[in-house]
Structure 1
Amino acid sequence: MAHTIREIAAAIGAEAAGDLDLTVARAAEPKMAAADALALAMDPKYAGGLAEGQAVAALLWAGADWQGLGLKAAIFAPRGRLAMAGLSVLFDAGPEIAAGVHVLSVVHPDAVIGAGASVGPFVTIGRGVRIGARARIASHVSVAEGAVIGEDALILQGVRIGARVTIGDRFIAQPGAVVGSDGFSFVTPEKSGVEEIRETLGERGEIRAQSWSRIHSLGGVTIGDDVELGANVCIDRGTIRDTVIGSGTKLDNLVHVGHNVQIGRDCLLCGQVGVAGSARIGDRVVLAGQCGVNDNIFVGDDVIAGGATKIFTNAPAGRVLLGYPAVKMETHVEIQKALRRLPRLAVRVGELEKTVTERLPDAG
């Protein structure tokens, strides 16, 4: 998919110089770029790679001497990664899904599929499903009865959309994502060991055999506009009310969202994050990889939690958290400094104990 320098600059809202009619067919790292590629050198530290590659056009940092770098054309990106967002849209052709419904797919007669939609092979669409215009659905996807999906969706291979799921416009789901699975909710006839431990913080009475009874999920899942799910994301239905994912929120691969969870707008949940049932997460929250959020707590707006942080209690808005259990980031740094000092401190304490013992008068 070839584009002129002029077209690319206009698409990403950037300034350009040189031969604006020069055509490039792909983007590449500077030293790997062929003559038909746009070299990505948005920082001066990548300038050296331009001499190793063959590119004659590049995406450069603001104010770069593009002619001195031996280029015929350049696009200037004051914010490189933002420019990359627009550039990647231009060069990503997306999956090959033929227009219309593939002959090997099964669509219930009561389902409604919007104009311009593309449905690949081995897709199953259930009774009462409504899918918006221009949706693209790859192979082996299933959409259960009554689900509603908005316009311009991109649903990739093997995604499962369950019953009672409502999804907004411009939804993206990577392969293997599951939306609307049953919540992990069980109860024992008598008070369980887990309930007892929560009440006593560690003390246990009589330990006895227990069996678990399923609490079925009667709610659904509601997802806003512009939400993206990574590969193998799992979102459980609510027990009575819906599990909710706010507009603009992005979930990375292997994220698990439990039943009844409420997640706000424009949040970012990175790989292997787990959010336990009935937790509430505000807007613009960022949870780095392997973070965990306890059940029935609230994480306020604009909280940022570093990798592997475990949040067990309510977190106020704007807090930056780190550690297990989560504490303020600056507190966690001080704790780690203190931990590194412990071996030396132990040696010093041992020496002091020896000195004190030697100087004590003989008890006899």
Structure 2
Amino acid sequence: MVHTIEQIAAALGAEALGAVDLEVTGLAEPATAGPDQLALAMSEKFLADLSKGAARAAVLGAGSDWQALGLKAAIIAPRPRYALAGLTAAMDPGTGIAAGVHATAVIDARARIGAGAAIGPFVVIGRGAEIGANARIGAHASIGAEAAIGDDAVIHAGVRIGTRVRIGDRVFIQPGAVIGGDGFSFVTPEKSTVEMARETLGKGSAPAPAVSQSWTRIHSLGSVVLGDDVEIGANTAIDRGTIANTEIGDGTKLDNLVHIGHNVRIGRDCLICGQVGSAGSTVIGDRVVLGGQCGLSDNIVIGDDVVAAGATKIFSNVPSGRMLMGSPAVKMDTQVEIYKAMRRLPRVMKTVEALQKAVFNRGQND
């Protein structure tokens, strides 16, 4: 794939300088870039690495002196990381899912396949399922009965889409994700020790049940609905709802190894990082960002524009716009002060011990 510097800059809405007709075939880090690659040196720390590589052209941040760096051409990107999104999209070779329907695919006669859809090897598509126009389904994926996949969606290898799941347009699902497994919902005939613990918050020990208890499944009659432009990471699991659907809003992105419990509703344009777990029936607003390994209790409400740092544990409702950190979660600036205080504890304890000895010795002398 060959592009000129001028073509790339025009696609990005950026400024091209120097030999704008210079052609490049790909992207590279400055230290390893070859003469036919476009070096990515958008931040100050990468500029020195340009001399280690052989790049003739680079993407630079505003104010960089491209000629002093020995380049023949440059693209000036005022918002470098955003430019990276456009650059990688232009250079992406694609999914590798071949056009057409592979001979080994198993497709129910009542399924509907849209124009231009690509179905890979050993894909299974169930009764009444709908595959949108130009959708691409990777090898060994399975699409449950009556599920619907939108136009231009990409379902990578080994993905499992459950019965009646609805997936919007341009959704991107990485390998191994499971969308629409049953929710983890069980109940006992009599009040369980878990219910007692909730009621008492651990005050005293819970009495033993009068009879042995077994867990009875609450069946999942709802499904999962993913909006348009949603992305789901590898090995992420989203459970179907009990009665209503589990819902993920337009534009929301989930990282690898995320678990979304039954009945959860997530708003638009959220960013959910790796190993986040949300218990059932939690409501998450729009534009929420949850750092890696955050944990959310069930039946709570997270407002719009909340940002939670990695490993934050949220046990109660959060108002819109709040920035959180810690376990249990508190305001981010409060947690910073708590952390500073914790680091001072050893020194404080030595001071306390010294004061105790001084008081004791004085009492002995008196």
- TM, length-normalised to structure 1: 0.97
Q: Given that residues 197 and 206 in structure 2 are in contact (C-alpha distance below 8 angstroms), is that contact kept between their aligned partners in structure 1?
A: no
Q: State the alpha-carbon separation in 1 of the partners of residues 175 and 16 from structure 2.
A: 37
Letter in 2 for 1:41: A
Q: Given that residues 126 and 145 in structure 1 are in contact (C-alpha distance below 8 angstroms), is that contact kept between their aligned partners in structure 2?
A: yes
Q: State the alpha-carbon separation in 2 of the partners of residues 40 and 350 from structure 1.
A: 56
SS at match of 1:360: helix
2:131 corresponds in structure 1 to: 131
State which of 271, 284, 305 in structure 2 corresponds to 1:268: 271
Q: State the alpha-carbon separation in 1 of the partners of residues 271 and 224 from structure 2.
A: 18
1:355 corresponds in structure 2 to: 358
1:218 correspondence with 2:230: no
1:9 corresponds in structure 2 to: 9
Q: Displacement, 1:204?
A: 2.8
Letter in 2 for 1:206: P
Letter in 2 for 1:42: M
SS at match of 2:115: coil
Measured against aligned partners, the alpha-carbon deviations of 1:108-140 in whole angstroms (never above 9, x if no partner) come to 111111111111100000111111111111100
Q: State the alpha-carbon separation in 2 of the partners of residues 64 and 353 from structure 1.
A: 61
State which of 310, 315, 318 in structure 2 corresponds to 1:315: 318
1:204 correspondence with 2:205: yes
- Segment of structure 1 superposing worse, 8-17 or 266-275: 8-17
| 5+ residue gaps, structure 1 | none
1:119 corresponds in structure 2 to: 119
Measured against aligned partners, the alpha-carbon deviations of 1:48-77 in whole angstroms (never above 9, x if no partner) come to 111111111111112322222221111111
Measured against aligned partners, the alpha-carbon deviations of 1:252-282 in whole angstroms (never above 9, x if no partner) come to 0000000000000000000000000000000
Letter in 2 for 1:43: S
- Segment of structure 1 superposing worse, 354-363 or 222-231: 354-363
Q: Displacement, 1:205?
A: 3.1
Q: Given that residues 193 and 204 in structure 1 are in contact (C-alpha distance below 8 angstroms), is that contact kept between their aligned partners in structure 2?
A: no
2:171 corresponds in structure 1 to: 171
- Kindly, what percent of the aligned residue pairs are identical? 64
Shift of the 277–63 alpha-carbon distance from structure 1 to 2, 3 Å rule, reads same
Measured against aligned partners, the alpha-carbon deviations of 1:27-51 in whole angstroms (never above 9, x if no partner) come to 0011100011000011232121111
Shift of the 55–205 alpha-carbon distance from structure 1 to 2, 3 Å rule, reads closer
Q: State the alpha-carbon separation in 1 of the partners of residues 205 and 188 from structure 2.
A: 16
Q: State the alpha-carbon separation in 2 of the partners of residues 205 and 166 from structure 1.
A: 43
1:231 corresponds in structure 2 to: 234
- Segment of structure 1 superposing worse, 100-109 or 338-347: 338-347
Q: State the alpha-carbon separation in 1 of the partners of residues 138 and 154 from structure 2.
A: 8
Measured against aligned partners, the alpha-carbon deviations of 1:302-352 in whole angstroms (never above 9, x if no partner) come to 000001000000011000000000000111111111112221222222222
| 5+ residue gaps, structure 2 | none
Q: State the alpha-carbon separation in 1 of the partners of residues 40 and 333 from structure 2.
A: 36
Count of matched residue pairs: 363
Q: State the alpha-carbon separation in 2 of the partners of residues 33 and 359 from structure 1.
A: 73
- TM, length-normalised to structure 2: 0.97
Alpha carbon RMSD of aligned pairs, Å?
1.2
Letter in 1 for 2:124: T
2:344 corresponds in structure 1 to: 341
